[in-house]
């Protein structure tokens, strides 16, 4: 992308408009056999933005999106931003009451949807159906004049709820721009092709969408409603995808069982959980020219906080660090009194800088967002993650503060058990949970995924763990599986594994 001193002062849609002017005939979206140029995408979004304003949306409003992954969804996202509003992705697989909670809490004025049987008709929210032919039938070459600031909200995204009830994170334009423009962990070129695989309600989509569209790249829309590894492999290859983002669980599955699907990829980003060195090294053995990036970060700091780049000359050994802060981000490792810890010592990771969100929709939950000039400038976010800085100045992820559990009177880190399992031969994936019963009893349960065509018994696993872990850290139950359940956001479904574990004890 052509850069100037003002690039980082432009809102997301203004940066897109600049690319549409510079690369009018370049392919912005590729969906199956359909190609949409930057000029066409910009023109359709201009037209829809004016339609939204005519129908009562006002600058600063939040507009919800409940749509399938088609070009219309991306026209809608851009139109919402051009109208001076923010978008809130809703998940069609959510129960109605959950989506209603998000709509009401975020004070949504309009829901744009391609589903005419939502069940929202009885509620006080305006529905705009994408089936109305007038919405997408025209192209308007003139961009809208609405002006805003970099601190205006760009989108609201609800967290997964893995640490409690879902919270709506309010992300401003500056945070998205800092993620994909003039950054130090990746250089996205106009020749790059990025696969849009993540659900819009998952913040990996922020990198995929804006990484492509703000750098004049091509965004390829995955055509499946859920992950079909064979369809995934075909669409990556057929579209010559060069940049790919996968959750850790999906990366481990693809790299272990569908490695040939990565033949066109030159940069693969993975994150959301711990990455396994042996699988990464297997990828390097087959594709010595690929770069793999471990991307770490909570939704509250806009997708990535730290990144660790690996290649054939910088292979991981025993663990994969989460690396160093990306551009526009400052990291602070603090003790329980919020004082800096010495290098090599464990502490909680706090972040500040351009990536920090504006807070939660429900401001009563903003206890992890705070100001403290003795730590850093601007708003600071406490991640709740335990980390340390290694001798190379890289950050090592140690686990969640709230993942330290008390078992049989001992403080136990579930990640330590999980990592010990992953060091065993023939294990590709593992998750460890703690079952709690009404009687007060507790039970450590491990779920393992074995390598293809390899067998291992639960007894063998326990015996090998007994050589490296104290007795109180040995799982009471070990489930050996060919596959582990994966959520719609690509992470291991710990809720489903918990249900299985509870059924085993009944």
Question: Which of the residues in the chain have pLDDT under 70?
Answer: 1-7, 117, 121-123, 160-165, 404, 406, 408-411, 437-441, 452-453, 487-491, 493-506
Helices (H), 378-493: 414-422, 458-465
Residue 211 near residue 185, CB atoms below 8 Å: no
Residue 410 DSSP label: E
What distance in Å separates the CA atoms of residue 141 and residue 362, rounded to the nearest whole number? 38
Q: In what order do the strands lie in the sheet with 153-158?
A: 126-129, 108-113, 62-66, 86-89, 153-158, 168-172, 359-360
Helices (H), 246-298: 248-257, 277-286
Residue 249 near residue 468, CB atoms below 8 Å: no
What's the pLDDT score for residue 165?
A: 67
The tokens 């609405």 sit on which residue? 146
In the structure encoding, which two tokens stand for residue 463, read together?
């015996």
| Residue count (the chain) | 506
**SS3 assignment, position 63:** strand
What's the pLDDT score for residue 441?
A: 63
Per-residue CA distances from 262 to 267, 291, 312, 488 (Å): 10, 12, 16, 21
**SS3 assignment, position 295:** strand
What's the pLDDT score for residue 506?
A: 44
Tell me the domain boundaries of the chain. Answer: 7-173, 408-505
CATH class, range 408-505: alpha beta
**SS3 assignment, position 112:** strand
Residue 199 near residue 205, CB atoms below 8 Å: yes
Q: Which residues of 72-98 are buried (b: 16+ CB within 10 A; e: fewer)?
A: bbbbbbbbbbbbbbbbbbbbeebeeee
CB count in 10 Å sphere of residue 173: 23
What distance in Å separates the CA atoms of residue 71 and residue 222, rounded to the nearest whole number? 11
Q: Write the CATH number of the domain with boundaries 7-173.
A: 3.40.50.980
What distance in Å separates the CA atoms of residue 82 and residue 94, rounded to the nearest whole number? 28
Backbone φ and ψ of 474, nearest 5°: -80, 125
Residue 364 near residue 339, CB atoms below 8 Å: no
What's the pLDDT score for residue 89?
A: 97
Residue among 222, 287, 205, 298 nearest 489 (CA): 205
**SS3 assignment, position 219:** strand
In the structure encoding, which two tokens stand for residue 217, read together?
């790249």
- Cβ neighbors of 25 (< 8 A, separation 6 or more) are 37, 38, 39
Residue 402 DSSP label: G
- Cβ neighbors of 119 (< 8 A, separation 6 or more) are 96
pLDDT in tens, 329-388: 999 999 999 999 999 999 999 999 999 999 999 999 999 999 999 999 999 999 999 999
> How big is the CA angle at 68 (ends 67 and 70), to the nearest 5 degrees?
110
- Cβ neighbors of 335 (< 8 A, separation 6 or more) are 341, 347, 348
CB count in 10 Å sphere of residue 315: 14
What's the pLDDT score for residue 84?
A: 98
Residue 66 Cα to chain centre, angstroms: 18
pLDDT in tens, 293-342: 999 999 999 999 999 999 999 999 989 999 999 999 999 999 999 999 99
Return left, alpha or beta for 126; rule: phi > 0 is left, psi -120 to 50 is alpha, else beta.
Answer: beta
Backbone φ and ψ of 392, nearest 5°: -90, 5
Single pTM value for the model = 0.84
**SS3 assignment, position 31:** strand
């Amino acid at each position: 992308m052509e850069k100037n001193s003002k690039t980082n002062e432009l809102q997301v849609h203004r940066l897109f408009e600049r690319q549409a002017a510079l690369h009018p005939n370049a392919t912005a979206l590729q969906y199956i056999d359909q190609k949409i140029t930057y000029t066409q995408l910009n023109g359709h979004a201009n037209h829809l933005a004016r339609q939204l304003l005519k129908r009562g949306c006002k600058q600063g409003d939040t507009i919800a999106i409940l749509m399938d992954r088609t070009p219309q969804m991306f026209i809608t996202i851009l139109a919402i931003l051009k109208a001076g509003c923010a978008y809130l992705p809703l998940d069609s697989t959510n129960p109605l009451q959950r989506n209603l909670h998000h709509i009401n809490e975020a004070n949504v004025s309009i829901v744009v949807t391609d589903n005419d049987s939502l069940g929202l008709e009885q509620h006080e929210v305006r529905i705009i159906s994408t089936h109305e032919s007038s919405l997408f039938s025209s192209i308007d070459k003139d961009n809208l004049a609405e002006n805003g600031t970099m601190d205006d909200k760009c989108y609201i995204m609800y967290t997964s709820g893995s640490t409690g009830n879902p919270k709506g994170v309010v992300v401003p334009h500056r945070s998205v721009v800092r993620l994909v423009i003039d950054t130090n962990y990746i250089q996205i070129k106009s020749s790059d092709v990025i696969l849009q695989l993540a659900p819009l309600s998952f913040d990996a989509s922020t990198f995929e969408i804006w990484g492509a569209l703000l750098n004049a790249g091509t965004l390829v829309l995955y055509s499946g409603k859920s992950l079909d590894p064979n369809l995934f492999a075909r669409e990556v290859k057929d579209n010559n995808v060069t940049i790919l983002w996968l959750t850790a669980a999906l990366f481990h599955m693809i790299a272990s069982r569908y490695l040939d699907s990565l033949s066109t990829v030159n940069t693969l980003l993975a994150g959301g959980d711990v990455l396994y060195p042996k699988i990464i090294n297997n990828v390097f053995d087959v594709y010595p020219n690929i770069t793999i990036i471990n991307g770490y970060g909570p939704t509250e700091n806009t997708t990535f906080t730290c990144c660790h780049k690996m290649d054939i000359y910088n292979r991981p050994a025993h663990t994969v660090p989460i690396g160093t802060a990306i551009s526009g981000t400052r990291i602070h490792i603090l003790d329980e009194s919020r004082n800096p810890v010495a290098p090599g010592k464990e502490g909680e990771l706090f972040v500040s800088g351009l990536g920090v969100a504006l807070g939660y929709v429900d401001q009563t939950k903003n206890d992890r967002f705070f100001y403290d000039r003795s730590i850093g400038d601007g708003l600071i976010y406490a991640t709740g993650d335990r980390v340390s800085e290694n001798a190379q100045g890289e950050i090592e992820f140690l686990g969640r503060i709230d993942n330290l559990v008390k078992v049989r009177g001992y403080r136990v880190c579930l990640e330590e058990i999980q990592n010990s399992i992953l060091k065993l031969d023939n294990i590709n994936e593992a998750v460890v949970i703690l079952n709690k019963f009404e009687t007060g009893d507790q039970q450590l349960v491990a779920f393992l995924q074995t390598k293809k065509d390899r067998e291992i018994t639960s007894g063998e696993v326990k015996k090998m763990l007994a050589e490296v872990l104290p007795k109180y850290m040995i799982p009471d139950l070990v489930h050996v599986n060919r596959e582990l359940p994966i959520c719609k956001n690509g992470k291991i479904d710990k809720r489903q594994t918990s249900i299985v574990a509870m059924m085993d004890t009944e």
